[in-house]
Amino acid sequence: MRWDILEALNQIAPDWIREDVLSRALEKSHLLPPGANIRRELDYLEQKQFILIDKEAGAQWLLKLSATGIDYLEYSAPEIMGIDRPRLAQE
């Protein structure tokens, strides 16, 4: 799910998105079980510096992909445990 979150944030980068909007988009894509708590995953991604979170925005967090997150999605950063990154196809 963490990879899916990063990919979703990459679709709207460089803009910020509300957590509830991201959750609904992932649910509609069947990437997030209905009612799942996404904040645990978001907090993990923030600790790894893959996303930025504005927690002062009120009840809903504002989310944005960081430069480190973009590098990870582009496979220009080393793989880390905890994010199930798909393997690149061998040529």
> Does an H or E element contain 62, and which?
strand 62-65
Question: Looking at residue 46, what is its pLDDT?
Answer: 97
Domain ranges of the chain: 2-73
CATH architecture of the domain formed by 2-73: Orthogonal Bundle (1.10)
Question: Looking at residue 9, what is its pLDDT?
Answer: 97
Q: 21-39 pLDDT, tens per residue?
A: 999 999 888 888 777 789 9
Q: 37-69 pLDDT, tens per residue?
A: 899 999 999 999 999 999 886 788 999 999 999
40/55 Cα distance (integer angstroms): 14
Residue type, 38: I
Whole-prediction pTM value? Answer: 0.88
* Dihedral in degrees, nearest 10, Cα atoms 17, 18, 23, 25: -40
82/90 Cα distance (integer angstroms): 23
| Average pLDDT, integer, range 13-26 | 93
